[in-house]
Each structure stands twice: as structure tokens, then as C-alpha cells.
A and B are shown apart, each in its own frame.
Chain A
């Protein structure tokens, strides 16, 4: 007699790896887009790249300190279908609503005309989907789309599925009168959602624009955002860009930004990382002319098990250019920070001035910061400096403040705010500065004005 054993393991549903899921869903994706286009050629090529490279692992030098393993285990819905209605009153707090602005808003990856305010007058502040499909925009798309984005793992993945995002084109000698806010909401209509916005910003000669970008989850359901933004600054253009990252603990973000600058242009990017689950910022500057200024600044304040990783690159290719980096980090509890700042100065890039500063405060002895400046200098007549500090709050300063009647919690907050304040000084939109100040006060759990 044989006893009958059933092999239950065959009944266990094998959850598909996210990579396989993405690859196998590509056919469905292709049903929704125009496959007979130049752009789709680019997408298909990118998919091949991703298929070959896969998701980054800690074996890669660039991902040594950041593991996506737990994030990738979620069973993400790739094309969330149900578009949930959002009332303005529920999300107003995520806008810098004190100012008049253009708004390009997406909900679960889909454009929300209700929450947006776009324009085609004088300049284009509109949608990537229409720019990709409308013949009128083809020359710009042909010239700029996916031209500076790296052909690496996550950027390729974004390119493969690129269909929606903000499209901003400012012709030369034009000043955009009010800031542009790009906001991506996820509603959590699915248990887990993956979104991949794709933004393109082309700013003509001597044109000027200010942009605020935010990714915001509205529930505690898991979210993975893999965003790619390409920014082109033509001669003497001025771009002032702010990234506000203050998301739910279940939301992870990989932000891949690529910026190409021509002569005499100034591009400044401020990144405010106040948490989420895992936040990875890949911020890349390529200087393709002379007398360029690139400004990279950031404030990171996190706690719990939050993780923020800043990977910056400034590639000095031509002579007489500058770059200024100033990143401040405050880490509490078991949070982890990474700062990897790479500066490459090519042989031709004489008279380069490159400054990099990265200062960190570990509030808790369980918090970690991995700081790694990387300078590769091939020119001989340059000024390059980098400074990195890791410290605790000054106990003597704290006692001094307490002696004057400022309680310990408020004293700590004041010290931390003062520490981070050098980054806020260069914020040129007062309402953004106010908002960030308020977010910092919230983050530090104090109710003081910080009007230092």
C-alpha cells in the first residue's frame, strides 16, 4: 500500500519577481502606446538594457550602502487602474499654495486636469504624453528625450515605460512669471503601487524658470517611485529647482535627475529629504560650456529606520566653471544616511572651482552616515575643496541655551536648525523657505519660529 502524499508546494503560488513581472507586462504596456514611433525604439532599447542589468544590488559600488531588496519584494501594481477622485482640500497642504503657480499634477501616474494648471502661452508647461504623441513637439523630443539620461539599470527601466510626466519647454529670452509645481500623488488604490514619472525640462537661451517637485503618497500602502528628469539649460539660462521629499514611511523614491548646462548658465537644485522609506537621489550635472555655475544643496532630517542616499555627480568638462555643493544631514534613532559626492574635472577644464561640503549630525548613537567624497581631477590649475564632518550636538551650547530658559528639546531644535540653515539661505522663493522651515519645525517636533 502506498500512502498518498500530496505535494503541497506545487500549490503554493510563486509570487513573481518584480523584474519578471515588469518584463512580462511589457506587452500589455505596448497595447497602450504608439509602438510605431522613434520614442518606442528608445523604450524597447531601454527595456533590453534593463533586462540585462536588472535591479541594482549592493554588489554595485554605487549601491553599496543602499539595498532595495525589501522594497522590491512588494507585489506592485504597475498600471494602477482605478483613478480615485481627490478633493483639493485633502491635498492642498502638499502644494506651496501660498503662491500663484503653474501646476502639473498626476494621480497614480495619470494626469489630473482638475488639480493642474498648465499653459501653452509663451511657453509649454504641459504633459509628456502629449509631447510624445503630438507631431508639433517632435523636434524637441528628438533633440532632447533620453539624451543625457544614463543607460543604467533604473533609468533604463523608467525609459522603457516612459509615457507620462511633466513637459516644460521655455523658449529663449523668456522669464516664466510664476513657479511651476510638479506633483505626483499616489492614492493607494492598490495594495502596492509602482509609478515611473518621466519629466523633460528644456530651457532656452537666457530663459528663466523655477520648479518645485514633489512625490506624495496619500495612504500607508506601499509605493515605489522611480522618476527620471532630464533638464537642459541653454546658454545663460537660469533654472532654480526644488525637490521636497517628505513622504509616508511606506513610500520609497528613486530620483534620477540629469542636468546638462551650456555656457554661462546657472542651475541650482535644492533637495529637502525629510523621509519616506528609502530615498535615493541620483543628481547628475554635466557642464558643456564655459562660465557655468552648478549649485547642489540639500537638507536631510530623518529618524526611525528611514534611509536617505544622495549620490551627486558634477562633471566639469570645459574650463572656467564652478560647482557648489552643500549637504547637511541630521540623523536620529536608527536612520541611515549616505552621501556620495563625485566631482570629475577633465584635463581641459582648467580654472575650475569646485566646492563640496557635507556636514552631518548624528543625534542618536544608533544612527549611521556613510560619507564618501570622490574627486577625480585631471586638470592642474583648479580649485577643488571638499569637507566632511560628522558630529554630535554641542552639549555645552545646549546647557548655555537651557541656562537662558530654552528647554532642551527646543534648544536642540534651534541648534539643528541653525546647522541646516546655510542651505536655506539660498532658497529664492520665500514661500518655499517658509514651508521648509515649518516642515523642519514639525520634523523636530517643536513649535518655534526659527526666524534666525
Chain B
């Protein structure tokens, strides 16, 4: 589904990704771990198409198509979803109307009619129940005055609504208490299928107790330096990252 080869990217002339390789197949969950500054969020933003980052070498293929020149919305229309580490506040636009606009713009791009209001409401009801989101919450301005946990839950709610092929969760666990973490993880698990894939970026093993990865990758200095199964995350939790750095020398 996703095939990243020799990806090099920089921001303001500073190289962040230095030859990243990653392949994700449908139905898989990949965890990306690594110390601060390793390039985890950069990787997520580059896949999503944030313009501040310049790709200097390498390719990003989604279902066989190179997406590295596409606009962020085109990537979204192709099924890429990024759950933001810091979701942006948008005063004056309610959660409901934001998601309606997002869905209908995606449908428009695919040559489909707008989703009938009845279907939209039904879907909103279903998905908000899945993530235990209060109806009143949906009428509020997007992310404005939301707590950290509410913002993250709202991200996963949008993911549930948009049904992406590839979801990248960038530190979705940070700022969540244990109950919220369980709700979010439960939501992600319910949305998982053999046709879609999830990349979980996290510092902590904690989230991986709930969203069990097929692969765990360690990102260090702009590339993946070690790959293992779920047990690697436990090892990292216990031993930290220094032993991997030493292994590299």
C-alpha cells in the first residue's frame, strides 16, 4: 500500500529525513518509535504533503502511484489521513460542518454527489457513539477550547468519518488519560480492516498494549535503523534507545 524508498527531506535547508525506507501492506499496523528529533513527525508531515518540507530525494508511493508531488488534499482524497500531534483550532467552524465539508469535498473530487444529509447524520451519530463523543461537542468550534484528550478523540472521530486507507497517528496517545486512551485505541481497532493500514507514531509502549503492531520500527537520525515485532517496543521501553545507538557504531 505505502512504499517509501530512500526518502530525503529537509526544512529550511536542514536535512531531517536521510534515506528513509518503509513498506506498509494492507491490514498491517506499524509502530514508529524513536528519540526526540529523530524525524518521526517530519515523516508523518512529509507523507501528508506539508509544503514547508522539501523532498530532496526518494519516492513515496501509495498503491503504486507516486504521491510526492500531489497537494495535501489530493493525498487525502487518495486515502491518506494524518491524526495531528497538535490539532489546529479553527474558530467559527463547528466540528459537524467541518467534517461535512471534508467528506463532500472528497466526494466531489471523486466525482460523487454530496452525501445526503440523512446519511451524513446517521454516520455522524454512529461514529460519535463509537468514540463516546457527546452530541453537544459536535456543535462547538473545531478544537477551540478543547482539552488535549478531546482534541485527540476528535481526530479519531474524523478518521472514522473519512475512512482512510492509510492512517498515520502522530503521538495520538500524548495527553490522554487511561480512559481516553482506551476509547481512542478501541476506535482505531474497530476501524481496522484487511484493506487499510495504520502507522502509529509514539514514544511509549503504553498505546501499543491496545493497538498491537505487526511491526515496530526505530527511527533514528532520519532513517529506520531497526525493525522488529511487538516485543521490540517492550525492549525499548525497558532499555531506552542508547543501546540501539551503540549498535549502530
Once bound together, how far apart are the Cα atoms of A419 and B93, in whole Å?
9
**A452-B94 in contact given A402-B71, A402-B73, A406-B105 (Cβ < 8 Å):** yes
| Docked complex: B65-108 residues within 8 A CB-CB of A | 71-73, 75-77, 80-82, 84, 87-94, 97-99, 101-103, 105-106
- Specify which chain A residues have a CB less than 8 angstroms from the CB of B82 in the assembled complex: 403
Q: State the CA gap A104–B32 with chains docked (Å).
A: 69
| Mask: chain A, 378-409; 1 = CB below 8 Å from B; 0 = not | 00000000000000001011011111111110
**Contact mask B155-199 → A, CB, 8 Å, 1/0?**
000100010000000000000000000000000000000000000
B76 and A410 form a contact (CB under 8 A) = no
Q: Contact at B97–A451, with CB atoms within 8 Å?
A: yes
Chain A residues within 8 Å of chain B by Cβ, number: 25
Given the complex, which residues of B lie within 8 Å of A394, measured CB to CB? 88
Residues of B within 8 A of A452 (CB): 92-94, 97
Once A397-B90, A418-B90 are accepted as A-B contacts, the answer to whether A403 and B76 lie under 8 Å apart by CB is: yes
Q: In this complex, what residue of A is CB-closest to B80? A: A403
Contact B97 A405 (CB under 8 A): no
Complex Cα gap A24–B142 (Å): 61
Give, as a whole number of angstroms, the nearest-CB distance from B168 to chain A. 10
Interchain CA distance A419-B89 in the complex, whole Å: 13
By the criterion CB–CB under 8 Å, are B88 and A402 in contact? no
SS of A interface (majority): helix
Quote the shortest CB–CB distance from A293 to chain B (angstroms).
24
B50 part of interface (Cβ distance < 8 Å): yes
B48 within 8 A of A: yes
Contact A405 B109, CB 8 Å, known A400-B84, A414-B101: yes
| CB of B23 within 8 Å of the partner chain | no
A448 (CB) vs chain B CBs: closest residue: B101
What CA separation (Å) do A64 and B84 show in the bound complex?
Answer: 47
Residues of B within 8 A of A401 (CB): 90, 98, 102
Q: Which of A399, A408, A410, A415 has the most CB of B within 10 A?
A: A399
Shortest Cβ distance from A397 into B: residue: B88
CB distance from A366 to the nearest CB of B (A): 21
Task: Flag if B88 contacts A404 (CB, 8 Å).
Answer: no
A residues in contact with B105, CB < 8 Å: 405-407, 410
| B237 is an interface residue with CB less than 8 A from chain A | no
* A407 near B71: Cβ-Cβ < 8 Å: yes
In contact, B102 and A399 (Cβ under 8 angstroms) = no
- In the bound assembly, the distance between CA atoms of A401 and B143 in angstroms comes to 13
**Most A CB within 10 A of own CB, among B76, B82, B109:** B76
CA A405 to CA B49, docked complex, whole Å: 12
Using a CB–CB distance below 8 Å, which chain B residues touch chain A? 48-51, 71-73, 75-77, 80-82, 84, 87-94, 97-99, 101-103, 105-106, 109, 158, 162
Knowing that A399-B50, A402-B76, A408-B73 touch, tell me 17 more A-B residue pairs with CB under 8 angstroms: A400-B88, A402-B71, A402-B73, A403-B72, A403-B75, A404-B98, A404-B99, A404-B102, A405-B106, A405-B162, A407-B73, A407-B105, A418-B90, A421-B92, A448-B101, A451-B97, A452-B94
14 sample A-B contacts, Cβ–Cβ < 8 Å, listed by A number: A394-B88, A400-B88, A402-B71, A403-B75, A403-B80, A404-B158, A404-B162, A405-B102, A405-B103, A405-B162, A407-B105, A415-B93, A421-B92, A452-B97
Which are the 4 A-B pairs with shortest beta-carbon distances? A418-B92, A402-B72, A405-B106, A405-B76
